[in-house]
Amino acid sequence: MAERHPREDEAARYILGELTPSEQREFEAELAQSVELRALVQELEEGVETLARAVPQRPPPPQTWAPIEQAIAAIEQEKVVPAFWVNWWRSGWAVAAACLLGWAGYALWMPRSKSETQIASPTAVPNPISPAPASTTTEGQPPSVGPDLISAALASSAAANANRELNGLRWQIATLQTQLQELTQTLSEQQTALTDPGRLKFFPTGSNSPGTTANTLSPGVQRALFYAMAQELGWMPNAASVETLNSLQNVFTTNLHGVDFVYLPVPANARLAQAVAATSGADAVNTAMGTTIQPSGEIPGFFPNNGKLVMAFDSTTVPRGRVLSFYYNSLGYEPILLGDTVATENPMIVSLPTASFGPGGEISVTASLGFMGTNTLGRFFLQTPSLGRP
Amino acid sequence: METAEHQIIQFPGAPETKKAQLTQAASEDLRLLKLIAAGDQSAMAALYQHRGTLLYSLLLRMLGDEMEAQEVTQDTFVQIWRRAVTYDPARSAPLAWMLLIGRGLAVDRLRARGRRQAHHATYEAEVASLEFEWVSRSRQVEQDELATVCASALNRLPEAQAQALQLAFLRGWTHEEIARSRNEPLGTIKARIRRGLLALRQILKEYQNG
């Protein structure tokens, strides 16, 4: 380093992931401009390599590799999902186009068939096979082709048309069958992908159609979701209601990057039901404070189209007492803690500002209980919007 | 296509220099990352063989728990698989890129364990635990030459510099937290860590050249 760069003191903080998103953007803008700063960052990274090599070396236990291999296989399968939506639209439109073509072909073919039937009718015109009377020709008119030839030509043309249309319809049927197979295949691929745990999922809250299995969202989460939707769609007097609700949130909440944590108070009758459940046995408390989280892999949420990601939680997804943390993970950098809070018995809405991060990173959601361990509940990949923007 | 600086020309029978060994290892990292970006799962297995020990050792040192280090090693390789397509060799050396992914995930775990208070007593306790772990783990393993050189490089740094580096890199303390706990200006800590990393890098260069 021949020359001291004014931002060099920030370089180590940059590679250790300590800069805030805005500081990071500013630093990277400088980095793009300055050869000296880039050289310094590379030299500091070489220092990091030395520091890592100074650690006593121990090989990982033999069982470490197998889960990596499995996870990679699952990721590769996951890649089918964006392709599913593309294929779905492509296939859907192709099916619609094929139907339209089929209908148009049918619409054109039917009237012609009818008119041909009328032409062929012995009551309307002379039989094309029988000779026509000679008086049908007059002087001064150009000589006409003989009626037998016309009839033969008409019959031949009609047969050719019918064959052509028949072939066209057969082709359309074959196309429709192929499209149906593709749709069935992509549907089964989608269903397989949805069974993958640890993925953020977006899905309807239930179905009214008979014979289908209703989704297992708890009433608390549904309430939180509907509230959040109303809030984001501007159906609620947002300032006052958020203030009122935020005043109820617990004191252990940290908001670093504009994350809103809104706790919904449990209605009086629900409190009564919980009190009854708690006094009826210790199980209720043990479940709530259980040391193991069994993530359902289903974090309900939606994009209100204002750059936010809104999610809803309750004790079925995060037991009471767990620290629920939200991170932004970006290429090669330390995850940025966006905010965290301690889960209570109340349903909760979390609104994350994702627009400022742009594509190329991921939002991860973790739940932990101090030294008892941490679970990753879900990840949302910002570079694959088709996963999250249904 | 590899650039000229990544190509190593060696005559048959010529002894490999330390620099050539390290450069060759870096070229192998780069080659494997390119294959991984193209979806080659066997390249991932090769990368794990090549760098698994280094990453696991670092994560074990950071987390102090074998099970957790194993989990974060797995997470790190999965992240490498996911992000390999966006890796830019012009911005980072491949090993540094992978190490910083692993370190980021480990720091995430450390933070999830609980909030620390950045005061002098915590600083002292953390430094003492680092020294204790260093001594106890160093006794358990035979170090190779490069690891020994790097460890001695760290020992040759002034005490405050080595402590600040280890707290920042291995324990995930921020520059602000170190400054607050030592009651020193933030600028001093920034310069200390930066100079410490540059000094370590210089010692590695000297080893390579000599």
Q: Among residues 117-156 of chain A, which lie with CB inside 8 Å of chain B?
A: none
CB contact under 8 A, B112 and A13: no
Lowest mean pLDDT across B1-5, B39-43, B151-155, B188-192: B1-5
Q: Quick one: pLDDT at residue A173?
A: 85
Pairing, β A348-353 against β A260-263: antiparallel
B15 pLDDT tier (thresholds 50, 70, 90): very low
Does A137 fall in a domain? Answer: no
Interface check for B131 against chain A (CB to CB < 8 A): the answer is no
Same domain, A280 and A361: yes
Q: Which residue has the higher pLDDT, A330 or A384?
A: A330
* Mean per-residue pLDDT, B74-84: 94
Does A138 fall in a domain? Answer: no
Spatial distance between the Cα atoms of B76 and B100, rounded to a whole number of angstroms: 10
* Mean per-residue pLDDT, A157-161: 75
A92 pLDDT tier (thresholds 50, 70, 90): low
Q: Quick one: pLDDT at residue A235?
A: 62
Determine the Cα angle at A205 with ends A201 and A211, to 5°: 110
Does A270 fall in a domain? Answer: yes
Determine the Cα angle at A79 with ends B28 and A89, to 5°: 145
* DSSP 8-state secondary structure symbol assigned to residue B17: P
In this structure, are residues A206 and A215 in contact, taking their beta carbons and an 8 Å threshold?
yes
A253 pLDDT tier (thresholds 50, 70, 90): low
Does A362 fall in a domain? Answer: yes
CB contact under 8 A, A58 and B57: yes
Same domain, A161 and A274: no
Q: Residue B97 pLDDT > 90, yes or no?
A: yes
Q: Among residues 356-375 of chain A, which lie with CB inside 8 Å of chain B?
A: 360, 366, 368, 370-371, 374
For chain B, percent helix, then strand, then coil, each to nearest 5? 80, 0, 20
Per cent of chain A over pLDDT 90 is: 4
Chosen from B82, B138, B166, B205 to mutate, greatest number of chain A CBs within 10 A: B82
Beta-bridge partner residues of A254: A340
Q: Nearest CA of chain B to the CA of A297: how many Å?
A: 17
CB contact under 8 A, B78 and A368: no
CA distances from A218 to A37, A205, A298, A322 (A): 52, 10, 11, 18
Same domain, A277 and A185: no
pLDDT averaged over chain B?
82
CB contact under 8 A, B53 and A53: no
pLDDT averaged over chain A?
66
Q: Nearest CA of chain B to the CA of A202: how many Å?
A: 22
Q: Where are the domains of chain B?
A: 21-114, 115-210
- Report ipTM (2 d.p.): 0.84
Same domain, A305 and A352: yes
List the strands of the sheet with A374-381, edge to edge.
Answer: A254-255, A336-342, A323-330, A361-368, A374-381
Residue A270: what residue type?
A: A
B76 pLDDT tier (thresholds 50, 70, 90): very high
Same domain, A185 and A333: no
Q: Quick one: pLDDT at residue B104?
A: 93
Using CB atoms within 10 Å of the CB of residue B148, give its burial: 0 to 12 exposed, 13 to 18 middle, 19+ buried: middle
How many C-beta neighbours within 10 Å does residue A35 have?
10
Q: Quick one: pLDDT at residue A148?
A: 58
Q: Residue B157 pLDDT > 80, yes or no?
A: yes
Spatial distance between the Cα atoms of A262 and A253, rounded to a whole number of angstroms: 10
* DSSP 8-state secondary structure symbol assigned to residue A337: E
Does A269 fall in a domain? Answer: yes
> What is the CATH class of B115-210?
mainly alpha
Chain A's closest residue to B47, CA to CA, is A65
Same domain, A27 and A85: no
Q: Residue B176 pLDDT > 80, yes or no?
A: yes
Q: Residue A265 pLDDT > 60, yes or no?
A: no
Q: Residue B84 pLDDT > 90, yes or no?
A: yes
Lowest mean pLDDT across A144-158, A197-211, A215-229, A295-309: A197-211
Q: Which residue has the higher pLDDT, B71 or A54?
A: B71
Spatial distance between the Cα atoms of A3 and B151, rounded to a whole number of angstroms: 29
Return the half-sphere exposure (C-beta side, CA atoms, 13 A cut-off) of residue B132.
Answer: 7
Domain boundary (A34, A53, A72) is at A53
Same domain, A235 and A336: yes
Q: Which domain holds residue A173?
A: 80-128+146-194
Same domain, A359 and A264: yes
Q: Nearest CA of chain A to the CA of B180: how many Å?
A: 16
Which CATH number characterizes residue A49's domain? Answer: 1.10.10
Split into its structural domains, chain A has a count of 3
Spatial distance between the Cα atoms of A109 and A100, rounded to a whole number of angstroms: 14
Same domain, A180 and A251: no
Lowest mean pLDDT across A117-126, A228-237, A250-259: A117-126
Q: Helix, strand, or coil here: B89?
A: coil
Lowest mean pLDDT across A263-277, B44-58, B78-92: A263-277
Q: Quick one: pLDDT at residue A179?
A: 82
Q: Quick one: pLDDT at residue A186?
A: 75
Q: Where are the alpha helices (DSSP H) in A305-383?
A: none
Which tens digits make up the pLDDT trace of A9-53? 788 889 888 888 888 888 888 888 888 888 899 899 999 999 898
Give CB contacts under 8 A, 24+ apart, made by A76-84: A76/B39, A76/B41, A77/A192, A77/A193, A77/A196, A78/A193, A78/A196, A78/A199, A80/A189, A80/A192, A80/A193, A81/A189, A81/A190, A81/A193, A81/A386, A81/A387, A82/A384, A82/A386, A82/A387, A84/A186, A84/A189, A84/A190, A84/A193
Same domain, A260 and A381: yes
CA distances from A289 to A90, A345, B112 (A): 48, 11, 17
Q: Residue A296 pLDDT > 70, yes or no?
A: no
**What residues of A are in contact with residue B55 (Cβ under 8 Å)?**
60
Interface check for A15 against chain B (CB to CB < 8 A): the answer is yes
Nearest Cβ partner for B70 among A15, A64, A76:
A64
Same domain, A154 and A265: no
Q: Residue B145 pLDDT > 50, yes or no?
A: yes
Q: Among residues 8-47 of chain B, which lie with CB inside 8 Å of chain A?
A: 39, 41, 44-45
What are the DSSP calls for A4-38, one per residue? Answer: --TTHHHHHHHHTT-S-HHHHHHHHHHHHH-HHHH
Interface check for B111 against chain A (CB to CB < 8 A): the answer is yes
Q: Residue A182 pLDDT > 70, yes or no?
A: yes
Token digits for B61? 């040192």
Chosen from A4, A9, A49, A256 to mutate, greatest number of chain B CBs within 10 A: A49
Q: Helix, strand, or coil here: B177?
A: helix
In this structure, are residues A332 and B79 in contact, taking their beta carbons and an 8 Å threshold?
no
Residue A32 CA to chain centroid, in angstroms? 33
* Mean per-residue pLDDT, B157-174: 89
Q: Quick one: pLDDT at residue B47?
A: 95
Q: Which of A207-216, A339-348, B96-105 has the highest mean pLDDT?
A: B96-105
**CATH, domain B21-114, list 3.30.360.10, 1.10.1740.10, 2.40.50.100, 3.90.1150.10:** 1.10.1740.10
Which tens digits make up the pLDDT trace of A298-334? 677 777 666 777 888 877 778 777 888 888 887 777 7
Non-local (6+) Cβ contacts of A307 within 8 A are A353, A354, A355, A356
Same domain, A243 and A366: yes
